[in-house]
């Protein structure tokens, strides 16, 4: 049933006394447009689209036809303003609605906006207020349609959106991989009643059933039984109660289990079966608990019956009954496990509360065609799961109100799976899930905290001529430190916590304070230096015997030929002999190479290796980051470098000319690599060229992520482990070498 | 497997008296023999029994009882032989006589025991004897008072076997032994239930119909109870609404399976009513419910959408949220106890209806038989169920009801005494 409870609880007077820090909440209002609002029984969700102006580092090649002078830099770096699209979603208590509307009106500059899309039960109630305050026409959208649209959007765009809840596990939240195909699924929306919706495609969904026993029943009946008014308080009562004093259990009837049917003694035979008496008093807590079980079990049972009838195994739960409440997530999970004997898992969504607002927004933004883009959750601007959960953090709630935010950046490119993944649905990029591994989590959180000073320094140094660099850097420090602290207490805040998510969060925070590329100057200098040695390195390699050269090339990849890391074999992971054997065989058709660092690594490590592949007759696709991350070489930098190398090296030059060497961008701005979110153009090239070798290098891409990734072609994963803790974990020492050469099972068979 | 304390002395090749009697009467349809009501696992032994029946003399001594001890109510069926010869009368021990007289001359026992006189089956031939079958019930919480009485009446001196089913057969077994010196033959409640239903339906096939349905359930003016012939009933969904609910899919006389159950049953209705209205009995709760109005308590589709929610084919009168109006303090104060009782009844009943409907769809069964004491004197719920089945299935499902709604388990237990299935 639709979420009609939303009319239920609103306070008589608006709270106008609160002081908001609204510029931190309603961000980028100046350019905001396409407002949408979802007003529920207690929470309002506001959505808008805005453009964000932020600085990006651009590299531009000098005109090298002119005579070069010693000491000229290779290319110029300029910080430019770039405009990107961002979606803002804010959730707050209905109490604040008037204050918020006032604030928005005061800061809204864009006057094109004439309409606000609205959904939710409260949309009627607040229609006049909204129209009066914002002078926008309220355009009501169907609740269920918005909900489904929102659900499709988050499932498609936010990795780790869905999770399984396990109260007693080490990690309560077990995040699910984004399945390449999100359909079909069942959405059980538990508002005041229950709606069961089968979603088959973007535009096709059907309400296949429902029940009148839902959140409203828990709330209404609970209020009558316990004289408790608030929904949250009822849940609190329930979490403290013992249902066995109110419910008639199987053992109350049987004296034990009803074993021939497999019904255990503790199973509830009759909810409230013991309260059929006038001579006993029951505690509020016990009654609330019994009621909670009764309703959760009933909903779970119906959900299972519908899932079975329609043969669906993905079942998502939402609605105010579920929203952020561990108590109800637990009872629903228990019920689903019981009724399906573990065959179906109850799935919950991190951004479930936003679905209606997102959907309403999408309805209003159809002309912008937001579904043609990929979007990414901005960790800097999003609050994370349970940021305002009363159960988890009552202090925070009292202090800051319940403002919760989600920001999503429009990505320049559409992201897809690497077509070479063996099983996209089971691919997990990250090697260690820090949500589950408490030891590793502690180590990495401290590690990132310790590194923060250095990052701040680097950020300031990267912008000697820009204003307030020190202040901005300090703000960055505060923000990131706060994120780390949040993650210490709520490691599940942004899905599975991983080294990758920690790195990405740092990048997002840096961008937030206009440090788009703290390493730009370092990279420039390193590239410059390395280029000078390129020809020398190539020449010395040419002098080696074939076998010696192959080893030197691999060493170069590992250490940029400079340090003596990895000289001593066997390495920690050592498949070099197999690789060498393979090289004696026929050349690969096409190698896809995910590159890592600027400077020595790319110029003196990767290029000579690529050169050798080209000489063998293998085409090469070099995939580099679309945006900056640490000292990783970006696509625009790599283009300049390649041009320069081509000018010095005929092999590279010919390969470029004959289209045997291609540069593509990965679509990522992370020091790690998620093979399930790559630029669509890259995927196309990979398929067209019949890629049969993937090389992934560096700690971020080959160790923190993708170490266990299974591809359906040959792959090389190589890195030097430059972190002693991680090296020890893998059974080695700092500067241990990983050289992993993998051949998928099938092609191995073919060879034999 | 079933515990087996009692058995006839030997297995001869003759038919049971029951079956002979049936054949004489020529009323039994081929599908209605009581000896066939066993679960799938016992199909083979049941088949074996048909060719190797116990001899007539295996008939157990009187008194013949069947007992079903549920979570809320104890159901007792008693066979009163009416064909007692003078010789027998003389031989009948005093204790047995006194029990017979006590049970048949009263309609109420103690303060809570009741004999449902209207259900009595007269001139029934059972195991070669003719007599009346009596239906008696009392609350499970008075079990100990019952055991006291059993002791006072020196039941144990009769050397009879007491066949009992329901959870209480297990829970109270030690009490029976200790307080009344009686050994129970414990029987599975679902076996007994299925067996009892098919038996009662078969013996009543030429009398007033045991099974009935409601014609025009959507139209209160013209909604009438109509007899239904339950011949060739398979497959059939059997919904037993006691304190809790069990749903069985019955595919043939000896093949059934418990599909699911729900804890929202008769016990929930009464338990919630007691808490919400201060009433103390089922009758009181039902009486209140009959005078109340649930639409003041529940939030309806039209309360939210102002009418039908057309996009999803939901009529305005459908309940969107049971007790949904009670989220609001002002509305809480405007409802009566009767309204609350009615809402509780409607909530529980509709929920059983929708789970049943889903099971029927999953099992691909079109006929549903509702039994259990929740339906006793509860026409309101029966009509609601009849309507819900018809409306939501667009006429595909038929809700059937049985006159002896709550007694089938006890009947099944009695049959086990007379004609053990193993």
Reported as a single tens digit per residue, the pLDDT across A629-657 is 999 999 999 999 999 999 999 999 999 99
Is the pLDDT assigned to residue B377 strictly greater than 90? Answer: yes
Residues of chain A in contact with residue B173, where contact means CB-CB under 8 angstroms, are 255
Residues of chain B in contact with residue A215, where contact means CB-CB under 8 angstroms, are 321
Reported as a single tens digit per residue, the pLDDT across A572-581 is 999 999 999 9
Share of chain B above pLDDT 90, in %: 65
Collapsing DSSP states into helix, strand and coil, what is residue A637?
Answer: helix
pLDDT value at position A111? 67
Split at pLDDT 50, 70, 90, the class of A396 is very low
Q: Token pair 């209003």 is at which residue? A: A364
Tell me the nearest-neighbour CA distance from B245 into chain A, angstroms: 8
Is A40:A3 a contact under the CB 8 Å cutoff? yes
Reported as a single tens digit per residue, the pLDDT across B266-295 is 999 999 999 999 999 999 999 999 999 999
Share of chain A above pLDDT 70, in %: 91
Burial class (CB in 10 A: 0-12, 13-18, 19+), A585: exposed
pLDDT value at position A698? 93
Q: Which residue in A8, A41, A209, A212 has the most chain B C-beta atoms within 10 A of its own C-beta, making it the best mutation to test that interface? A: A212
Tell me the nearest-neighbour CA distance from A292 into chain B, angstroms: 12
Is A217:B322 a contact under the CB 8 Å cutoff? yes
Are the beta carbons of A294 and B70 separated by less than 8 Å? no
Closest-CA residue in chain A for B174? A255
Q: What is the mean pLDDT of residues B237-244?
A: 97
The gap from C-alpha B414 to its chain's centroid, in whole angstroms, comes to: 14
pLDDT value at position B327? 92
Is the pLDDT assigned to residue A544 strictly greater than 50? Answer: yes
- Using left for φ > 0, alpha for ψ between -120 and 50, and beta otherwise, residue A135 falls in left
Residues of chain A in contact with residue B303, where contact means CB-CB under 8 angstroms, are 4
Q: Where are the alpha helices (DSSP H) in B235-363?
A: 266-277, 282-291, 301-305, 329-333, 337-363
Report CA-CA distances (Å) from B247 to A472, A621, B234, B260, B370: 67, 63, 15, 5, 9
Split at pLDDT 50, 70, 90, the class of A272 is very high
pLDDT value at position A402? 65
Are the beta carbons of B267 and A254 separated by less than 8 Å? no
Is A347:A162 a contact under the CB 8 Å cutoff? yes
pLDDT value at position B419? 82
pLDDT value at position A425? 86
Among residues B136, B139, B142, B145, the alpha carbon closest in space to that of B179 is found at B145
Closest-CA residue in chain A for B309? A2
Give the residue, A295 or A176, on which the prediction is more confident.
A295
Residues of chain A in contact with residue B278, where contact means CB-CB under 8 angstroms, are 278
Reported as a single tens digit per residue, the pLDDT across A198-221 is 999 998 999 999 999 999 999 999
Point out the residue among A248, A278, A298 whose CB comes nearest to the CB of B280.
Answer: A278
Point out the residue among A5, A246, A278 whose CB comes nearest to the CB of B324.
Answer: A5
CA–CA gap between residue B283 and residue B289 (Å, rounded): 10
Are the beta carbons of A278 and B260 separated by less than 8 Å? no
Contacts 24+ apart (CB under 8 A), A71-80: A73/A524, A73/A525, A73/A528, A74/A524, A74/A527, A74/A528, A74/A531, A74/A640, A74/A641, A74/A644, A75/A524, A75/A637, A75/A640, A77/A517, A77/A520, A77/A521, A77/A524, A79/A55, A79/A463, A79/A466, A79/A516, A80/A55, A80/A56
Tell me the nearest-neighbour CA distance from B289 into chain A, angstroms: 16
Are the beta carbons of B280 and A297 separated by less than 8 Å? no
Point out the residue among B171, B260, B280 whose CB comes nearest to the CB of A253.
Answer: B171
The mean-pLDDT minimum among A497-501, A612-616, A732-736 falls in: A732-736
Give the residue, A90 or A373, on which the prediction is more confident.
A90
pLDDT value at position B39? 37
Is the pLDDT assigned to residue B14 strictly greater than 60? Answer: no
Q: What is the mean pLDDT of residues A285-300?
A: 97
Residues of chain A in contact with residue B242, where contact means CB-CB under 8 angstroms, are 270
Tell me the nearest-neighbour CA distance from B274 into chain A, angstroms: 6
Is the pLDDT assigned to residue B41 strictly greater than 80? Answer: no
Reported as a single tens digit per residue, the pLDDT across A94-145 is 888 888 888 888 877 666 778 899 998 788 888 999 999 888 899 999 999 9
Reported as a single tens digit per residue, the pLDDT across A72-98 is 677 887 778 888 889 999 998 888 888
pLDDT value at position A369? 77
Is the pLDDT assigned to residue A398 strictly greater than 70? Answer: no
Among residues A618, A623, A739, the alpha carbon closest in space to that of A684 is found at A623
Are the beta carbons of B305 and A254 separated by less than 8 Å? no
Q: Which residue in B141, B321, B357, B384 has the most chain A C-beta atoms within 10 A of its own C-beta, making it the best mutation to test that interface? A: B321
Are the beta carbons of A301 and B297 separated by less than 8 Å? no
Is the pLDDT assigned to residue B74 strictly greater than 70? Answer: yes
Residues of chain A in contact with residue B355, where contact means CB-CB under 8 angstroms, are 301-302, 305
pLDDT value at position A660? 97
Split at pLDDT 50, 70, 90, the class of A366 is confident
Is A463:A520 a contact under the CB 8 Å cutoff? no
Q: Which residue in A219, A273, A340 has the most chain B C-beta atoms within 10 A of its own C-beta, making it the best mutation to test that interface? A: A273
Are the beta carbons of B243 and A298 separated by less than 8 Å? no
- ipTM summary value: 0.86
Tell me the nearest-neighbour CA distance from A207 into chain B, angstroms: 6
Residues of chain A in contact with residue B272, where contact means CB-CB under 8 angstroms, are 221, 272, 275
Q: Which residue in B73, B322, B336 has the most chain A C-beta atoms within 10 A of its own C-beta, making it the best mutation to test that interface? A: B322
Are the beta carbons of B170 and A142 separated by less than 8 Å? no
pLDDT value at position B23? 42
Is the pLDDT assigned to residue A536 strictly greater than 90? Answer: yes
pLDDT value at position A13? 37
Phi then psi dihedrals of residue A725, to 5 deg: -65, -45
Point out the residue among B258, B268, B326 whose CB comes nearest to the CB of A271.
Answer: B268
Q: Which residue in B176, B248, B299 has the most chain A C-beta atoms within 10 A of its own C-beta, making it the best mutation to test that interface? A: B299
Residues of chain B in contact with residue A253, where contact means CB-CB under 8 angstroms, are 70-71, 166-168, 171, 243
CA–CA gap between residue A225 and residue B5 (Å, rounded): 47
Q: In A113-184, where do the E strands start and end?
A: 115-119, 137-140, 162-165, 173-175
Q: Which residue in A253, A312, A320 has the most chain B C-beta atoms within 10 A of its own C-beta, making it the best mutation to test that interface? A: A253
Residues of chain A in contact with residue B270, where contact means CB-CB under 8 angstroms, are 276
Residues of chain B in contact with residue A281, where contact means CB-CB under 8 angstroms, are none
Are the beta carbons of B323 and A274 separated by less than 8 Å? no
Closest-CA residue in chain A for B71? A253
Q: What is the mean pLDDT of residues A446-473?
A: 92
Q: What is the mean pLDDT of residues A383-401?
A: 51
Give the residue, B12 or A620, on which the prediction is more confident.
A620
Task: List the catalytic residue out of B80, B189, B338, B416.
Answer: B189
Is the pLDDT assigned to residue A394 strictly greater than 60? Answer: no
Point out the residue among A213, A223, A274 whose CB comes nearest to the CB of B347.
Answer: A213
Is the pLDDT assigned to residue B20 strictly greater than 80? Answer: no
Residues of chain A in contact with residue B326, where contact means CB-CB under 8 angstroms, are 219-221, 223-224
Active site annotation includes B189: yes
Give the residue, B24 or A151, on which the prediction is more confident.
A151
Are the beta carbons of A9 and B327 separated by less than 8 Å? yes
Point out the residue among B274, B312, B359 whose CB comes nearest to the CB of A275.
Answer: B274
Split at pLDDT 50, 70, 90, the class of B1 is very low
Reported as a single tens digit per residue, the pLDDT across B384-400 is 999 999 988 998 999 99
Is the pLDDT assigned to residue B422 strictly greater than 90? Answer: no
Point out the residue among B268, B299, B305 whose CB comes nearest to the CB of A273.
Answer: B268
Residues of chain A in contact with residue B362, where contact means CB-CB under 8 angstroms, are 305, 308-309
Point out the residue among A192, A246, A301 whose CB comes nearest to the CB of B260.
Answer: A301
Q: What is the mean pLDDT of residues A705-733?
A: 93
Point out the residue among A121, A195, A273 whose CB comes nearest to the CB of B243.
Answer: A273
Is the pLDDT assigned to residue A21 strictly greater than 70? Answer: no
pLDDT value at position B28? 34
Tell me the nearest-neighbour CA distance from A331 into chain B, angstroms: 15
Closest-CA residue in chain A for B69? A253
CA–CA gap between residue A260 and residue B97 (Å, rounded): 38
- Residue burial B58-70, b: 16+ Cβ < 10 Å; e: rest: bbbebbbbbbbbb
Are the beta carbons of A4 and B270 separated by less than 8 Å? no
Are the beta carbons of B271 and A287 separated by less than 8 Å? no
């Amino acid at each position: 049933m639709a979420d009609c409870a939303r009319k239920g609880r609103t306070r008589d007077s608006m709270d106008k006394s609160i002081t908001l820090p609204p510029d931190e909440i309603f961000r980028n209002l100046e350019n905001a447009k396409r407002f949408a609002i979802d007003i529920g029984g207690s929470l309002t969700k506001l959505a808008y689209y805005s453009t964000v102006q932020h600085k990006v580092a651009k590299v531009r090649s000098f005109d090298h036809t002119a005579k070069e002078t010693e000491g000229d830099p290779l290319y110029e770096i300029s910080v430019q303003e770039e405009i990107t699209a961002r979606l803002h979603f804010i959730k707050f208590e209905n109490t604040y609605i008037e204050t918020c509307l006032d604030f928005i009106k005061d800061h809204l500059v864009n006057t094109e906006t004439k309409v606000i899309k609205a959904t939710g039960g409260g949309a009627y109630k607040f229609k006049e207020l909204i129209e009066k305050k914002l002078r926008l026409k309220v355009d009501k959208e169907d609740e269920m349609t918005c909900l489904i649209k929102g659900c499709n959007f988050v499932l498609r765009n936010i990795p780790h959106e869905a999770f399984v809840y396990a109260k007693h596990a080490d990690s309560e939240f077990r995040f699910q991989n984004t399945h390449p195909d999100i359909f079909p699924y069942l959405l059980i929306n538990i508002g005041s009643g229950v709606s069961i919706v089968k979603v088959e495609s973007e535009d096709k969904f059907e309400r296949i059933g429902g029940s009148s026993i839902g959140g409203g029943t828990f709330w209404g009946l609970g209020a009558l039984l316990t004289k408790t008014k608030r929904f949250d308080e009822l849940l609190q009562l329930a979490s403290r109660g013992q249902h066995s004093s109110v419910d008639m259990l199987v053992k109350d009837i049987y004296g034990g289990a009803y074993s021939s049917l497999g019904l255990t003694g503790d199973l509830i035979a009759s909810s409230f079966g013991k309260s059929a008496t006038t001579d006993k008093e029951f505690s509020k807590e016990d009654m609330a608990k019994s009621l909670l079980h009764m309703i959760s079990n009933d909903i779970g049972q119906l959900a299972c019956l519908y899932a079975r009838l329609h043969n669906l195994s993905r079942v998502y739960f939402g609605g105010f009954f579920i929203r952020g409440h561990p108590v109800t997530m637990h009872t629903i999970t228990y019920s689903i496990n019981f009724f399906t004997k573990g065959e179906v898992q109850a799935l919950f969504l991190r951004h479930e509360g936003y679905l209606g607002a997102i959907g309403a927004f999408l309805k209003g933004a159809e002309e912008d065609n937001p579904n043609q883009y990929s979007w990414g959750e901005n960790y800097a601007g999003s609050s994370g799961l349970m940021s305002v959960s009363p159960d988890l953090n009552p202090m925070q709630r009292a202090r800051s109100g319940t403002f919760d935010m989600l920001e999503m950046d429009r990505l320049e490119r559409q992201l897809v799976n690497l077509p070479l993944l063996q099983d996209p649905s089971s691919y997990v990029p990250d090697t260690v899930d820090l949500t589950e591994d408490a030891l590793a989590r502690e180590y990495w959180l401290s590690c990132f905290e310790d590194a923060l000073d250095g990052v701040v320094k680097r950020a300031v140094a990267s912008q000697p001529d820009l204003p307030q660099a020190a202040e901005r850097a300090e703000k960055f420090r505060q923000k990131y430190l706060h994120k780390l602290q949040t993650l210490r207490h709520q490691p599940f805040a942004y899905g599975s916590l991983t080294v990758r998510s920690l790195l990405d969060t740092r990048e997002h925070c840096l961008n937030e304070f206009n440090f788009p590329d703290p390493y730009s100057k370092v990279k420039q200098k390193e590239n410059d230096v390395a280029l000078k040695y390129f020809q020398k390195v190539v020449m010395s390699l040419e002098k080696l015997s074939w076998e010696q050269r192959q080893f030197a090339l691999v060493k170069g990849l590992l250490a940029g030929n400079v340090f003596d890391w990895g000289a001593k074999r066997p390495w920690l992971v050592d498949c070099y002999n197999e690789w060498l054997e393979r090289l004696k065989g026929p050349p690969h058709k096409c190698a896809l190479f995910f590159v890592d660092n600027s400077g020595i690594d790319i110029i003196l490590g990767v290029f000579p290796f690529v050169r050798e592949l080209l000489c063998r007759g293998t085409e090469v696709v070099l995939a580099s980051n679309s945006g900056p991350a640490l000292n990783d070489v970006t696509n625009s930098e790599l283009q300049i470098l390649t041009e320069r190398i081509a000018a010095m090296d005929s092999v590279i030059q010919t390969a470029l000319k004959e289209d045997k060497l291609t540069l593509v961008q990965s679509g990522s701005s992370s020091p790690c690599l998620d093979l399930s979110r790559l630029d669509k153009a890259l995927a196309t090239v990979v398929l067209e060229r019949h890629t049969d070798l993937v090389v992934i290098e560096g700690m971020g891409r080959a160790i923190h992520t993708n170490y266990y990734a299974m591809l359906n072609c040959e792959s090389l994963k190589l890195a030097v482990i430059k972190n002693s803790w991680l090296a020890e974990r893998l059974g080695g020492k700092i500067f241990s070498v990983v050289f992993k050469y993998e051949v998928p099972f099938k092609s191995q068979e073919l060879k034999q | 497997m079933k515990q087996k304390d009692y058995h006839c002395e030997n297995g001869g090749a003759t038919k049971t008296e029951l079956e002979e009697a049936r054949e004489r009467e020529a009323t039994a349809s081929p599908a209605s023999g009581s000896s066939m009501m066993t679960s799938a696992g016992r199909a083979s032994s049941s088949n074996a029994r048909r060719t190797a029946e116990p001899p007539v003399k295996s008939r157990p001594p009187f008194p013949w009882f069947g007992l079903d001890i549920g979570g809320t109510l104890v159901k007792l069926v008693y066979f009163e032989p009416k064909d007692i010869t003078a010789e027998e009368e003389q031989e009948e021990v005093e204790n047995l006589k006194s029990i017979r007289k006590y049970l048949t001359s009263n309609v109420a026992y103690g303060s809570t025991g009741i004999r449902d006189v209207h259900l009595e089956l007269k001139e029934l031939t059972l195991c070669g004897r003719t007599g009346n079958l009596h239906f008696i019930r009392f609350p499970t919480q008075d079990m100990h008072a019952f055991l006291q009485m059993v002791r006072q009446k020196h039941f144990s001196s009769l050397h009879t076997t007491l066949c009992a089913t329901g959870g209480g057969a297990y829970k109270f077994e030690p009490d029976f032994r200790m307080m009344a010196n009686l050994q129970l033959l414990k029987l599975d409640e679902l076996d007994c239930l299925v067996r009892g239903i098919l038996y009662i339906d078969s013996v009543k096939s030429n009398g007033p119909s045991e099974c009935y349905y409601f014609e025009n359930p959507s139209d209160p003016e013209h909604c009438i109870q109509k007899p239904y012939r339950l011949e060739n009933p398979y497959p059939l969904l059997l919904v037993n609404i006691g304190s809790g609910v069990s749903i069985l899919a019955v595919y043939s006389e000896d093949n059934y399976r418990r599909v699911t159950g729900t804890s929202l049953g008769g016990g929930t209705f009464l338990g919630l009513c007691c808490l919400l209205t201060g009433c103390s009995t089922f009758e009181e709760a039902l009486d209140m419910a009959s005078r109340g109005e649930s639409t003041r308590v529940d939030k309806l589709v039209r309360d939210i959408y102002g009418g039908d929610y057309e996009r999803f084919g939901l009529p305005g009168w459908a309940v969107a949220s049971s007790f949904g109006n009670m989220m609001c303090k002002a509305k809480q104060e405007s409802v009566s106890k009767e309204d609350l009782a009615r809402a509780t009844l409607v909530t529980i009943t509709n929920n059983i209806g929708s789970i049943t409907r889903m099971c029927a769809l999953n099992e691909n069964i079109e006929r549903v038989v509702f039994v259990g004491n929740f339906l006793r004197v509860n026409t309101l719920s029966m009509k609601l169920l009849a309507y819900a089945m018809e409306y939501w299935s667009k006429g595909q499902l038929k809700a059937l009801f049985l006159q002896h709604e709550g007694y089938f388990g006890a009947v099944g237990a009695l049959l086990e005494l007379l004609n053990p299935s193993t």
